[in-house]
Amino acid sequence: MAQSGKRKFEAIGNTGFSTSNNTEGGRLTRKDGSINLSKTGLPFWERISLYHSLLRMSRGKFLITVLAFYTVVNVLFAVLYLAAGVNNLKGIIPANDTLSNFEQAFFFSSQTLTTVGYGHISPSGLITNMIASAESFVGILAFALVTGLLYGRFTRPRAYLLFSDNLLYAPYKDGSALMCRVVTYKNNHLTDVEAQVNIAMHITDDNGNKVRRFYPLPLEIKKVNSLALSWTIVHPLNEESPLYGMTMEEIRDADVEILFFLKGFDDHFSNIVQQRFSYIYSEMVFGAKFLPMFHRSADNTTTILELDKINAYEPAYVPELSKSVVIV
């Protein structure tokens, strides 16, 4: 149980994370939403799903991977053509140096792999024709797979949610609250967006052991019908909060991590999308409030949402922080 003043709170036991203080390694959730976890105990090729890796990697890495695969396959087949003899490639201009012959075999391989076949060079003999036939088959399979991956990457549902860099300890009504801001940064639209927020914190149990416990954080509004503009997610620091009455130093010593789980319906994908995010103590700003990030257009015909202002905040007075050193 966590103790805040005289109130106790029931911990969550089904988060999927360990409660042992001796098994953790840094934050639970990385800034990109992935779980901070490394798996061992099995060979690398059994722990890796190539399909998932190719779908999730960045555009640059994906293009480099495809280009590397294309180059390696052409190099291997060019070596096979050279091993079979350059005299079995009609139209090739034999040279005295291996590099020139390899260059011609490499470009013939690229033409065969892509089934372009300009006709300048053609295979001759059983062995060379078998190599060319095998390469054409590999090319058909490879381009089918790459096309499928491109389609999968292009159509994979994503939330495209942008979170503020900081979690603010801000004034709220007659007290205070924790606030973060989230917005969709693409031209997609989410409806029925629901937020769930948990906190992981270190406490001392009844036996004097340091353990990690998870508690739900009640929200001012946990669901919005439409995420058209920005949404400031607010957790009031009242008697229903596990953090109620805690000072900055106590929050720091508890080594807190606040976990956000958002899901909503994307009407473009016609599917449910979700995204994770988290904040640790060093990403919290005490005594601040967010500045507006949308306004009316000059001609009064539309609303302007300024995405570059999602992190904009200003100092704000919070009475209960007056006993602590205010960090802004």
Flag whether 246 is in a domain.
yes
pLDDT for the residue numbered 8: 64
DSSP string, 66-89: HHHHHHHHHHHHHHHHHHH-GGGE
pLDDT for the residue numbered 323: 55
The reply to whether 101 and 69 lie within a common domain is yes
Phi, psi of 229 (to 5 degrees): -110, -155
Looking at the 3D structure of the chain, how many domains does it have?
A: 2
Looking only at the bridges linking them, the beta strands covering 2-4 and 7-9 are antiparallel
Rounded CA gap, 114 and 243, in Å?
62
The reply to whether 182 and 300 lie within a common domain is yes
Rounded CA gap, 73 and 93, in Å?
23
Task: Provide the 8-state DSSP code for 281.
Answer: G
Domain boundary among 128, 155, 182: 155
pLDDT for the residue numbered 38: 79
The reply to whether 199 and 140 lie within a common domain is no
The reply to whether 313 and 195 lie within a common domain is yes
**Which pairs with CB-CB distance under 8 Å and at least 24 residues apart come from 68-73?**
69/142, 70/110, 70/113, 70/142, 73/109, 73/113, 73/135, 73/138, 73/142
Flag whether 139 is in a domain.
yes
The reply to whether 187 and 146 lie within a common domain is no
In 213-227, which positions are buried (b, 16+ CB within 10 angstroms) versus exposed (e)?
Answer: bbbbbebeeeebeeb
Q: Name, in order, each residue with C-beta under 8 angstroms of 180's C-beta and a sequence gap of 6 or more.
A: 163, 164, 166, 167, 168, 232, 233, 260, 279
Rounded CA gap, 115 and 105, in Å?
15
The reply to whether 149 and 221 lie within a common domain is no
Which pLDDT tens digits describe the chain residue by residue (328 residues)?
444 444 567 777 666 676 665 556 677 888 777 777 777 788 877 888 888 889 988 899 999 999 999 999 999 999 998 888 878 888 877 777 788 888 888 988 998 998 887 777 888 889 989 999 999 999 999 999 999 999 999 888 889 999 999 999 999 988 999 999 999 999 888 999 999 999 998 887 777 778 888 999 999 999 999 999 999 999 999 999 999 988 889 899 989 999 999 999 998 888 999 999 999 999 999 999 999 999 999 999 999 999 999 999 999 988 877 654 444 3
Flag whether 30 is in a domain.
no
Rounded CA gap, 328 and 319, in Å?
15
The reply to whether 169 and 126 lie within a common domain is no
The reply to whether 107 and 188 lie within a common domain is no
Q: Which CATH number characterizes residue 105's domain?
A: 1.10.287.70
Looking only at the bridges linking them, the beta strands covering 284-286 and 167-172 are parallel
The reply to whether 183 and 119 lie within a common domain is no
The reply to whether 162 and 244 lie within a common domain is yes
Q: What is the span of the domain harbouring residue 134?
A: 45-155
- The alpha carbon of residue 79 and the mean position of all alpha carbons in its chain are separated, in whole angstroms, by 40
Flag whether 292 is in a domain.
yes
The reply to whether 149 and 208 lie within a common domain is no
Flag whether 38 is in a domain.
no
pLDDT for the residue numbered 13: 65
pLDDT for the residue numbered 5: 43
- The alpha carbon of residue 252 and the mean position of all alpha carbons in its chain are separated, in whole angstroms, by 27
The token duo for 303 is 């609303």
Rounded CA gap, 63 and 149, in Å?
11
Are 11 and 213 contacting, i.e. CB atoms less than 8 angstroms apart? yes
pLDDT for the residue numbered 10: 72
Rounded CA gap, 241 and 223, in Å?
19
Domain boundary among 137, 155, 173: 155
Phi, psi of 248 (to 5 degrees): -60, -40
- Scanning 24-125, the segments in alpha helix (DSSP H) are 44-47, 50-56, 59-84, 98-113
